[in-house]
A and B are shown apart, each in its own frame.
Chain A
Amino acid sequence: MRKSKHIIAVVILIIISTVVLDALFLFMFQRPAQASTQATIIDNFTNIHFAVQAFLFSLIMVLVLYSVVVFRRKPGEEEEYGAHVEGNTALEITWTILPVIAVVIFGVYAIFILNEILAPQPDEIVVEVNARQWSWSFSYPELDNKVSDELVLLVNQPVVLEMQTEDVIHNFWVTEFRVKQDLLPGSMEVLRFTPTEVGDYRVRCAEICGLQHATMRAPVRVVDQATWDAFQAEMLAQPKIGDLTAVERGELWSQQFGCLGCHSVDGAPGAGPTWLGVYGREETLADGTTITVDDVYLHDSILDPNAVIVEGFNPNIMPANFADRFAEKEAEVMQAEGLEIGIVEDLIEYIKTLQEDTNAN
């Protein structure tokens, strides 16, 4: 008699606790705006998890707390023991089989959800994402491969990101889209989603990638058709390489090759020395010697950065593969515009212009 009373009480408490906890979870763990089709699907699925987990938590904690309150040893019971129960096989078997069934159901459900999230859409556009320590750039094959350091997307237009890293592993994550994908050195990773809400968001790198991992972010803008058209026009109107002066090209390269992720042009500290006033500066090197920064020094510093190290900075931070990457880009420009350029020379010309006084006016 008493036993069934306990069981009824526990069942009622578990039901109440599940309902209350589920509501509490949904209230407590509100998530940021859902800005993609994937976000809605993933959130709904997460909400099912909240309900199931509220039940599991209640099932166990209600039993624990109930025991603590009801079966607590009272004064005068010091010599008393609980009943000598060694187990209950039927209960154990049920307790094993039910979760197995639940896991299978959940697993199959998750497969459907996953397929839905990953499914290619009929009219996707491609954006190439390039990451490096510690910056992002986005290039649009449909817009003449023009490069931007902000990711602009048309609302309700499915996209495929083709993502590559130039050095270590990074991770593309936009909370509001609820999707995340590592970028692996040496391979191209693909990420699909469809933005659904116009707004300003942010890419965050979610895989530790060294010194400035925390601030490796990039703006994302989901825009309506009119803004998108304007963006397209603006991108396409970007001048050809051939129309630029060496200094302008240098500035462009410094963005495209991510130099500015480490070097500031305004004297601010960073992972590498600031470029402001570097040309002509007396540089102290890690081995204690000094050197005057000239064209040759800059040339060598860029192509073989570990040969000499500036005092106060670490070796092996600056990528050592620019020579190859520049050659590749130079060949590309050659092919596209029949133009012979030297990227290092352009960069040096640009760096030369970054002097205190020129900046002042």
Chain B
Amino acid sequence: MERFDTLVIGAGHNGLTCASLLAKAGQRVLLLEADDHVGGLAGAHEFHAGYRAPTAHSVDHFAQPVAAALDLEKHGLRWRPAPPLVGLGDGGAPRIIRDGALEGATAADSAAWPAFRARLNTFARALEPYWLKTIPRIAKAPLPELAIFGRMGWSLRKMGKADLREFLRQFALPTRDLVDEHFEDEVLKALISWDGLIGSRMAPRSPNNAVLMMLYRMAGRSVESPANLIAALEGAAQAAGVTVRTGTRVSELKLEATEHGYHAAGVVLEDGEAIATDRVVSSADPKTTFLDLVGARHLEIGFTNRINRLRCNGLVAKLHLALDGLPSFTGLERPEGRMILAPTLDSIEFAFDGSKYGECPETPVLEVTVPSLDDPSLAPDGGHVLSAHVMFVPHERRDGWDDAARAELLERSLAVLESNAPGLRQKIVAQELLTPADIEARHGVTGGHWHHTEFALDQMLMMRPSYEAAQYRTPIDGLWLCGAGTHPAGDLTGAAGHNAAREILK
């Protein structure tokens, strides 16, 4: 049997990216995927005969250097302008952010927009290079590596004194305070806040972590569709010579005791098959990797504690509707882009409140797309797929998750949709609602969390997921991380997989 240099666990986009980069550098790489297809959360699954939907429904900030390193354009990747962000929910004309410009806003808000946008852009551009860097351990790294902090400081200083002062204040603001300082219209304020909040345990009044998420999401470029991205990544993996085995679940790591601890010598599959290797790279989340695959008994207790306390409970449910025609949203000619159904900042805040106690929101807030507009193969002729992120839905519902609870949440979500798209219910052929717990079960992501673990000041940079594993190597010799639980974070960016490959190849 062929011996591989490296095993990569998980064929999500980060696993694919890392595996391909390693193979391009000459390693023999085996990529193992538990599901029967590659793509992880970006992969589409059939939820009704003829209707498919990916869990992640758009690719809005894929890192261009990663695409370049893998020649993804040659493998069919198609960039596109960022899809419009459409604010609905109050029955009025939609407020739309398209190509950085604002439509449908009040005169005062339109006047305030360019300066606001320009400043955030300045911040985002200053930070962008660092999402693709390895952030060293502050006390342990050699001086040349630590110089990155100096460069980061200089990048920020280059923005100019006024912008730097504002950055040092604004980065920690709750989105509510940020937008309240500039705008008057609630729909617009909710719309601008959205990218700081979705996927995280953040509401408009939550300080510290939301603005950085907005800036993170302003890096990179939009790709046509998740399917297009995954197809390109798959093409790149094939071209690089990665061996991909789907339907192959890893049940544990094979460890060998060494003088200094343990060495990852291979993996054991669910069916008992053992595969030996020199190196294992896990794109699974940190809790799965360390607590399930490695096992706490092989880890130092302080490290185990730090992994254990990672905050991994996701708050986004996923709704898929199979439709027999194109839905029609009030005020919109075509349901294009990402439609945000959150009429006020309070609507988001109040939808969040219940989740703190394990309750589902009475009136959820939603991000809606119709992915079949970009990728007609997702639905049969004439049909369409509506995909919605539903917030904020607790991973652990206080009274537990059962069919009645799902039905109740589905009904509340449909009520919000119907009020924004009258007649939608009549078009529904079939539906699927995935709670965070369902997403966890389906994709093996702890807590069903978008970023594997919260993107928060205490869990980012050289602290992600914990300082002993933040440079992609781990306390287990030969075991590496390449998933969203490492710097920078999740979303379809390719950054973590790319950064991990660079470190492994060093």
Same complex origin of A and B? no
Report B's interface with A, CB cutoff 8 A: none
Report A's interface with B, CB cutoff 8 A: none
